Structure 1
């Protein structure tokens, strides 16, 4: 079976080429059906960089902005029997395909993370995210969620929402199968935590999840996130 990799982008000129390169490593290229960059209207050179790669496995599509919308549009355009959703500032391990293959094609899951910062607090974040994924089958988008196409379609795919599309998809998928967490490591840019600070960003994430559990809409959650 082949994997379609979907990368949502908005002004990711600095990240998109190394992201795609990580997908198409020598160890994994044979397992890739395509890499679809679902761009939400970048004003930098993101799309031009993708087009300049001149790789028949790589293509860019245009989508209305919003990660849930872009992921859904990318999945709609994909042809592979398995889908993998990758953030532009993430890097897959060179043997990511082999890890999936040796896992006997699990229904869905993600990867252990390695946040690219040496501080000990980031190791705690990695541990907590792995526990959430393994223990609760609740994966976030920066864990490179992969899922069989048939199961993705069965649950209705990504909601076309402003925020929490990854949590909503996980909630639908775990009703059918528990998540599989592969060893990775998936390298994750620390920019999100560096911008707000580890504690502040983590507390914000918890606040958003609590508000979501209490019935807040994705648009209300976006207002909390952008505040």
Structure 2
């Protein structure tokens, strides 16, 4: 599915939210985005076949809800191509933006940078989540590689120049970061998005950390991302 949008009707920013069985968080997420929607930000939810009430809940608040084959990269690409914005923000359903994120993104993309991400804060009961977030932010700042939890944003021109997200089941955020770095260094905003630490707490902080580092290392070595995705699903 491809949607062509007249440039005369394009908005400044489009937020694309991929979902799959996110009924517990999607309504809270979209309610938090109402202030941006009122300011003219387009909000598109792309659902990958949820078996719960995600779609019904999203239809109450989103500018548009699209159904897609499952796969986060596939869903985000579909949402981007159906959107109107000259700037694109890819947001996880359990990640919440800082105040006036639209202005922060616009300012970050005014100069030579064509993409970027936010710093991250992990919500949860365990204090170690704060240390993990600090490490994620510093690693990202040093390497120029962002994770999806950090809410990647970019100009539409940059998205199209790298042909969007690679259609792969894992590490799509790392791969698009590598490609975008060929266009410019990222704008690393110190304003924080707040992302749920549920994965870390449910699966265990240290096991999750070791799993992610091991998978990243193996991906860096060139191992097949489909095999890594199978191991990730099995481990979880």
Taking structure 1 as the reference length, the TM-score comes to 0.92
Q: 2:94 aligns with which of 89, 97, 105?
A: 89
Who is 2:46 aligned against?
Answer: 38
Q: Quick check: 1:3 aligned with 2:13? A: yes
Partner deviation per Cα, 1:139-181 (whole Å, 9 max, x = no partner): 0000000000001100111011111111110010011111112
Partner deviation per Cα, 1:46-104 (whole Å, 9 max, x = no partner): 11011123x6xx11101100111111111111111011000001111122122223335
CA shift for structure 1 position 127: 1.1
Q: Equivalences for 1:140-151 in 2 at 5 Å?
A: 140-151=147-158
Who is 1:194 aligned against?
Answer: 201
CA gap of 1:104–1:82, structure 2 versus 1, over 3 A, is closer
Work out whether residues 134 and 180 of structure 1, in 8 Å CA contact, stay in contact via their aligned partners in 2. Answer: no
Who is 2:6 aligned against?
Answer: none
CA gap of 1:37–1:207, structure 2 versus 1, over 3 A, is same
Q: Quick check: 1:131 aligned with 2:138? A: yes
Q: Quick check: 1:172 aligned with 2:179? A: yes
Q: Quick check: 1:64 aligned with 2:69? A: yes
Report the Cα distance in structure 2 between the residues aligned to 1:37 and 1:109, rounded to whole angstroms: 21
Structure 1 residue runs of 4 or more that deviate by more than 4 Å after TM superposition: none
Unaligned runs of 5+ in 1: none
The alignment partner of 2:49 has SS state of: coil
Aligned positions, number: 222
CA shift for structure 1 position 31: 4.8
Report the Cα distance in structure 2 between the residues aligned to 1:10 and 1:183, rounded to whole angstroms: 29
Unaligned runs of 5+ in 2: 1-10
- CA-based RMSD of the aligned residues comes to 1.6
Q: Quick check: 1:22 aligned with 2:35? A: no
CA shift for structure 1 position 30: 1.8
CA shift for structure 1 position 25: 2.1
Work out whether residues 89 and 153 of structure 2, in 8 Å CA contact, stay in contact via their aligned partners in 1. Answer: yes
